[in-house]
Amino acid sequence: MKVLNKSKLDNVFEKLSKDTDLYLPMQKGRQTGYFSYKTLNDDTDDIVLDILNVYLPPKNIVLPQTERMYSFKTEGTEVNINEVYEVREPKVIFGIRSCDVKSIEYLDEVFFTKGYTDNYYKARREETVIIANACYFPGKSCFCESMGVDPLKPDTADVIIHDTGQDGYVWEAKTEKGEEVTKSISEFLEDKNVELPKPTPLKRSVNYDGVAEKLKDMFDHPMWEKLSDPCQTCGICTYICPTCYCFDIQVKSWGEEGYRFRCWDSCMYGEYSMMAGGHNPREAAKERFRNRFLHKLQFYKERYGSSLCTGCGRCVVACPTGVSIIKIIDEVKEANAGE
């Protein structure tokens, strides 16, 4: 088997970053997330391949928080498009976990399928190589297996690395893209046999079976009042969720010129569903809370065949008032749908 000695990691990062924008899990001050290797400050930042889940998920790499879409110029009643900003730049995400690989699969479903292709997303996604880090020791908030994620075998990763400790990372190319990356760093890989670690069972689990089907009859159930009561609609769950993809499109103009851009939005904010004329179908916090979890647990499954949760546990950790999707799934399982 191919093995990457940990002493060669810096060499690999330097090699990959010559021709691609390389993203790594990093700690920058009190913040952790996937950041470009170009931004690494050796004096203040740390590469944290051993952290299970950095707070900021990698979705910003394929769906930037803010992106310019096109520029335009008006001439009387005519509008001419000057430039379309579809960014094609080779990228590598190194060290991503299975739950986050699955989240990109879900974004692919939204932006590639059902008769619609988002060319901005497509341009970035097609140029992205995923090198996943298998999880042998899941964290106390992880429940990925309950949501159909294999922590050791992310389906769509191009390369899977397995941390064996002192022996380094077992390197396993899975796709044609993965073979190309492997070839580019082959000088740092060695052939030897090492033993893979034994995976530790996850400590948390939840039974999602039948939840989507049961929720069809629970839109007006009184449990939503109780469950939404502690929610402050701060929206942090949506920003750190690797699968939330809501965005808004705005325009910036001056004189006869301008550009359109899109930016992340949150269904937890009242303005998100505000309509022209001032009507808002989800004006109350309870309605926004219910919509968020119905989307995660029912609507997405009805359209794409799976839930929109990968069990990464970020929202469980970050919610300031203790709202937990695990508790909500349990409540749905135990509730009387006829109430």
**What are 18-38's pLDDT values in tens digits?**
999 999 999 999 999 999 999
- The SS3 call for residue 104 is helix
318 within some domain = yes
In sign, the C-alpha dihedral spanning 164, 169, 171, 174 is positive
Say whether pLDDT at 128 is over 90: yes
- Indicate the helix (H) or strand (E) that contains 169: strand 169-173
154 and 96 both lie in a single domain: yes
pTM of the model as a whole: 0.95
What pLDDT shows up at residue 337?
78
67 within some domain = no
53 within some domain = yes
Say whether pLDDT at 339 is over 90: no
What pLDDT shows up at residue 52?
85
154 and 215 both lie in a single domain: no
Is 96 in contact with 58 (CB distance < 8 Å)? yes
Cα–Cα distance measured from residue 36 to residue 43, given in angstroms and rounded to the nearest whole number: 16
Q: What is the pLDDT of residues 202-229, one digit of tens each?
A: 999 999 999 999 999 999 999 999 999 9
27 and 137 both lie in a single domain: yes
165 and 226 both lie in a single domain: no
Q: Return the bridge partners of 157, or none.
A: none
Q: Provide mean pLDDT across the span 122-137.
A: 97
306 within some domain = yes
What pLDDT shows up at residue 18?
96
